[in-house]
Amino acid sequence: MFLSSVLFLSLIGILFVHSAGSYWSEVHYKGQMPFALKQAAYLVVGIVGAYIIQRSNFILSDGFWKGLYIVAILMLIGVLIPGIGVVRNGSQSWISLGFMNFQPAELAKIAVLGVLAISLADEKKSRMKMYIQSAVLLLLPIGFIMVQPDFGSAFVLVVAVFFLLFAAGLPFKFFLWIGLSGIIAFVLLIVSAPYRLVRIQAFLDPWNDPLGSGFQAIQSLLAIGPAGLFGFGYGNSRQKFLYLPEPQNDFIFSILLEESGFIGGFIVVLAFVIFFTTSFTMAARAKTRERQLMIIGFTSLLAVQTFLNMGVVTGLLPVTGVTLPFISYGGSSLVMTWGIIGIILNLAKETDIEGRR
């Protein structure tokens, strides 16, 4: 069920990348390889990578995760250097590899959760040392990600780490301090960058600026609202005709709902629920603390990202640039997501046999 759900979501992704991005590709990338073919190629690379990772024996190596963490930090620094980092939609978050643009923040999220899970699993450490290590390991990459700026990736990583720390058994008062610090940091972030305040205002009343800050939210709701139970049929979206900017990316769920309606959206949500349920079940059956914490951390990462994307698309949350795992167009996102699948499958090799009965 775990593998079936992620394969189903990935194939649905290719179908709707083709539908949502066909006109945008024709207008802006005429003569280049269609988005759907690129997505299919990325999927093959991701599946091959997941298979290799699943068969490897270095996943629980402390040295591997520390090395990956250092590489991720170096890449986050490199993406900020002019000439190396690629600017898209106002964010310098990508490194061009020629055949695709790679987003170091995707690698950083995996590296942070991996190295933190290994660290938290060491029960010999004092609680104070655990607090300090967790703070340093998280805040360093978060700082570089926010400079890009990429608030969406930073938020997803922070919340996923929050769930990981909770699973590690840290005391409740620790989370009270974390919550208070988060509120203060959130206010400071809004004050330091006026465009974030504009996004909050657009979330509260998108019709106040329908052609500016509220444009994406309104166009997304115009796609979803009239769709009804069954939608307008595959390929029959109206909002993909340059009304919804880059509909194959962050707002692909809007097009999916417009074309397949409530029923199609329910099936996709159900597939995600099956994926998360089976993954957390494997975490519960894991024989060692390291395996359990790592599965919880990586599953939480994808769960938070999924909830955030769907919340933005349906108007429940302010607009922020976060892709929908397995479905949104993007090479680095899809390959890294399948890398997480490979890691979870590797960690689930040894489970509690009694737990399956």
pLDDT over 50 (residue 355): no
Dist. CA 330–CA 246, nearest whole Å: 12
pLDDT tens digit sequence for 156-177: 998 999 899 888 887 777 777 7
Bigger pLDDT: 153 vs 83: 153
pLDDT over 50 (residue 343): yes
Phi and psi at 209, nearest 5°, equal -140, 70
pLDDT over 60 (residue 221): yes
User: How confident is the prediction for the chain on average, in pLDDT?
Assistant: 88
Dist. CA 55–CA 63, nearest whole Å: 18
Q: Which positions ≥6 away from 338 have C-beta within 8 Å? A: 6, 10, 43, 46, 47, 49, 50
pLDDT tens digit sequence for 45-80: 999 999 999 999 888 888 999 999 999 999 999 898
What is the rounded average pLDDT of the residues 202-211?
84
Which tokens sit at 258?
A: 């417009």
Q: Is the pTM higher than 0.85? A: yes
Task: Name the pLDDT band for 352 (thresholds 50, 70, 90).
Answer: low
